[in-house]
Amino acid sequence: MKWIAGIIGALVLWGFLQGASEVDLGQGKDTAVEAAGKIVSGVADTTVKLLPRLIDGAAELVDKIPDNGDYEPPTIGE
């Protein structure tokens, strides 16, 4: 569970940095509201685009694990 929170946290941080790179507060070009909007937009874009892909990838990995009835573990001596 900790690694899921870490992945989501990394996506949020990446989105924050992506949105913050678009902000230009120099000489009054962006107001604080516009800057906050760009940051929130960056976080939303990153999580909305990448989170479903990560979930699909995890589902594919889980689908490769055999069901309980299909797998017979080897015994000692075989």
Q: Kindly state whether residue 71 falls inside one of the protein's structural domains.
A: no
> Would the pLDDT of 70 be above 70?
no
Q: What is the pLDDT of residue 46?
A: 82
Q: Kindly state whether residue 16 falls inside one of the protein's structural domains.
A: yes
What range defines the domain where residue 16 resides? 2-65
Q: Kindly state whether residue 54 falls inside one of the protein's structural domains.
A: yes
**Residue 25 backbone dihedrals phi, psi, to 5 degrees:** -90, -5
Task: Work out the average pLDDT over 66-76.
Answer: 71
pLDDT in tens, 11-63: 888 888 888 888 877 777 778 788 888 888 888 888 888 878 878 888 888 77
pTM strictly above 0.75 = no
State the residue for tokens 């909007």. Answer: 37
Q: Kindly state whether residue 18 falls inside one of the protein's structural domains.
A: yes
Q: Kindly state whether residue 56 falls inside one of the protein's structural domains.
A: yes
State the residue for tokens 């996506």. Answer: 11
Q: Label residue 1 by pLDDT band (50, 70, 90).
A: low
How many domains are there within the chain? 1
State the residue for tokens 């589902």. Answer: 59
pLDDT in tens, 49-69: 887 887 888 888 877 776 666
